[in-house]
Structure 1
Amino acid sequence: MTTPHGTPDAPLLIVRGEAELEVEPEIARITVTLSARNRDRRTTLDDLTRRNTTTLDLIKSYGDAVEHLSTGTLSLTPELTEHGRDERVRAYHGHIHLTAELTDFTLLAELTTRLADMELTRVDGPWWLLRPDSPVHRQARREAVREAVQRAHEYAHALDTTLAALIELADTGTEQPRPTRMPFERGARRASPADTDQAPEPLDLEPRKLRVSAQVSAQFTMAPPTLRN
């Protein structure tokens, strides 16, 4: 493929077009880590299984508000004694990692609070996201193209001429918004009788806006301008 070049009869004009949008998130993602610890391996596994079932049932009870739910890694690790000739298991540590994505941010606050209040449960997030097929990406690309065309017209007008043809249009980068996270994290905890008297008040989670950008490069030919001082 040859590189386009201009001629005196068809001068080449190369411009860039950029667009940046600030939009509301469409999805909130949280991760949940369930833990269990006991001297007996089977008891540790049974506790972890019970907590996993309870947590999955709770998340699924929010119905269509939960767009995605998946189980990540499962680990069951022995903790060995630090002293003595023989290696002996002091305790077993179990962990399960879950990921949930929600579209209803009001229910997200309620669910996140209830999860964080559960026994030996850690909640991280939320991360604010757009769907991969969100129309916002298409809108950013269109605005970048419009800016490139407008910029080309302005340059041509400055030379008292007009655009003749589009030679090339290249997508030089559509930047996906990086997930942003609220400063929320609840560590693993044990429930006490005082904790179970009443449900905690839902956290106030304010969605953070996301930035989506697009850049294009466009090459046009122009009608020959009449250059004068």
Structure 2
Amino acid sequence: MTTGTGTPVPFGTPETPRVAVRGEALLEVDPEIARIGVAVSARGTDRRAALDDLTRRNASVLELIKSYGEAVEKVETGSFSITPEPAKRGRGERVRAYHGRVHLTAALADFTALGELVTRLGDQELTRVDGPWWALRPDSPAYGEARRRAVREAVQRAREYAAALDAGLVALVELADLEAENAGGYGRPRGIMHAAGFAAESSGLDKGLPALDLEPQRQTVQAQVNARFTMTPPKL
């Protein structure tokens, strides 16, 4: 809506008033995937021996993870390090020991397999397990559902405001994702990832371990939109 000089009229006119509302939606849904972190370690007074031990343990852990087949959607190596530990006493560059570590991450969609896998990983030699971190996939239908509900709420609010003035909605003028207005780019509702407090480090656990009972943590998805409508002249 503009005046005769072309200047925008942000709030409409008495003949074509506008109503501006915000639509919001907040959903709680079950997680779709779980991620775990695995750190494999080795220590020795000889660099080559430490590397050999680390290689062997890393291969054993990877074999165990991949043995779960399709239950594991992704496994990746994050980082590798081999660090010399200087001797506390003596002159020169004497090395007391070498510490090696490999970090892995794995994503699973089968939460029953997850409980068994983390227990078996925790029983591996010098292996630390962290997680799980629950999440939704980037293309989860939950994001679209949150957006649709936010838009429907915006329309409903606008209708209620117009009805309170004995008026009706005429047309949609603008619909904007709240993140687009605040950050200058379109965003998607955020799936909040929570960490369930599981951390295990190998310490000679018994064989034949039962699967750990893990309760998936529900995820929160939020969407917000701003909407502006024109409406018929109110009856004041």
TM-score greater than 0.5 by the shorter chain: yes
C-alpha distance in 2, partners of 1:175/1:160? Answer: 34
Task: Report whether the alignment pairs 1:226 with 2:229.
Answer: no
Partner SS state of residue 178, structure 2 = strand
Partner SS state of residue 79, structure 1 = strand
2:190 to 176, 180, 187: 176
TM-score under structure 2 length normalisation: 0.91
Partner SS state of residue 191, structure 2 = coil
- More moved, 102-111 vs 85-94: 85-94
Correspondence for 1:201: 210
- Per-residue CA deviations over 1:80-119 (Å, capped at 9, x if unaligned) read 0112222200000000000000000000000010001111
Task: Report whether the alignment pairs 1:155 with 2:157.
Answer: no
Partner SS state of residue 51, structure 1 = helix
> Aligned partner of 1:213: which letter?
Q
- More moved, 175-184 vs 36-45: 175-184
C-alpha distance in 1, partners of 2:142/2:157? Answer: 22
Partner SS state of residue 197, structure 2 = coil
Gaps of 5+ in 1: none
Contact persistence 1:78–1:93 (CA under 8 A): yes
TM-score under structure 1 length normalisation: 0.94
Contact persistence 1:8–1:224 (CA under 8 A): yes
Correspondence for 2:146: 140
C-alpha distance in 1, partners of 2:45/2:159? Answer: 75
CA RMSD of aligned residues (A): 1.4
Correspondence for 1:45: 51
C-alpha distance in 2, partners of 1:84/1:106? Answer: 53
Gaps of 5+ in 2: 1-6, 180-187
Correspondence for 2:183: none
Task: Report whether the alignment pairs 1:98 with 2:84.
Answer: no
Partner SS state of residue 142, structure 1 = helix
- Per-residue CA deviations over 1:146-193 (Å, capped at 9, x if unaligned) read 000000000000000100110000000344122111111113x343xx
Correspondence for 2:182: none
> Aligned partner of 1:219: which letter?
R
1:76-115 correspondence runs (5 A): 76-115=82-121
Task: Report whether the alignment pairs 1:186 with 2:200.
Answer: yes
Correspondence for 1:21: 27
C-alpha distance in 2, partners of 1:165/1:175? Answer: 26
C-alpha distance in 2, partners of 1:142/1:175? Answer: 11
Distance 1:80 1:125, change over 3 A: same
